């Protein structure tokens, strides 16, 4: 990670990660920063707290607020929005594919394609055929990427990412890290990008 990079930790199942993913590159460029994409799955970290579901489902009032807030945020950002069903999506396959994709220059575009499919198009991002289509849209080789995603070499990478997230104190996403300085939530993106590297 270069000094000017902002680490962007996200889960494909996370609603507020969607507007973050769609806008972070343009905002970072305007701020003279680069983005290090860090896919993770929050399920194991939530499980540490005894949670077996999204906090937005476990806390219905918070969930109702979040869906309304997502409508407002996406409207303000000019992003299409459709509430995913089921929620939360199983994001493990997409995260494994993203770790492979991010070894290539089409990685960030693949991540945006996944978020758009899930939060704007009603697609099921747990489906391998959906992920294959999104790899192709991003400019990658679908068969090779999905084969690499489930390979014995790649599976431990997602587990390692979860371990890194836990070890750095990440408790929710999106989280932006500038060095060890942490910013949690889409509404903190601009503050993170303005934080001295």
- Residue for token digits 């003279």? 32
Q: What is the rounded distance in angstroms from the CA atom of residue 186 to the CA atom of residue 160?
A: 24
How is 102-133 classified by DSSP, letter by letter?
TTSTTHHHHHHHHHHHHHTS---TT-HHHHHH
**Closer by beta carbon to a second copy, 71 or else 121:** 71
| Least distance (Å) between residue 103 CB and a second copy | 29
| Least distance (Å) between residue 62 CB and a second copy | 5
- Distances in Å between the alpha carbon of 155 and those of 43, 49, 125, 177? 16, 24, 18, 24
**Closer by beta carbon to a second copy, 139 or else 172:** 172
| Least distance (Å) between residue 19 CB and a second copy | 14
Q: What is the rounded distance in angstroms from the CA atom of residue 138 to the CA atom of residue 161?
A: 23
**Closer by beta carbon to a second copy, 25 or else 69:** 69
Residues that bind a second copy (CB under 8 A): 49, 58-59, 61-62, 64-65, 68-69, 169-172, 182, 184-185, 187-188
**Closer by beta carbon to a second copy, 26 or else 61:** 61
Q: What is the rounded distance in angstroms from the CA atom of residue 87 to the CA atom of residue 53?
A: 9
| Least distance (Å) between residue 69 CB and a second copy | 8
């Amino acid at each position: 990670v270069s000094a000017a990079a902002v680490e962007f930790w996200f889960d494909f199942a996370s609603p507020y990660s969607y507007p973050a993913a769609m806008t972070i590159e343009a905002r970072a460029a305007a701020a003279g920063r680069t983005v290090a994409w860090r896919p993770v799955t929050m399920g194991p970290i939530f499980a540490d707290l005894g949670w077996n579901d999204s906090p937005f489902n476990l806390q219905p009032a918070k969930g109702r607020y979040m869906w309304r807030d997502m409508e407002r945020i996406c409207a303000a950002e000019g992003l299409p929005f459709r509430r995913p069903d089921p929620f939360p999506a199983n994001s493990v396959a997409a995260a494994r594919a993203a770790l492979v994709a991010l070894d290539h220059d089409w990685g960030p575009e693949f991540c945006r394609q996944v978020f758009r499919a899930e939060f704007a198009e009603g697609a099921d991002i747990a489906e391998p055929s959906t992920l294959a289509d999104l790899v192709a849209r991003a400019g990658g080789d679908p068969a090779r990427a999905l084969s690499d995603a489930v390979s014995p070499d790649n599976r431990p990478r997602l587990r390692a990412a979860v371990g890194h997230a836990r070890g750095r104190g990440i408790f929710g996403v999106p989280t932006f890290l500038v060095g060890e300085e942490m910013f949690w939530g889409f509404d903190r993106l601009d503050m993170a990008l303005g934080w001295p590297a």
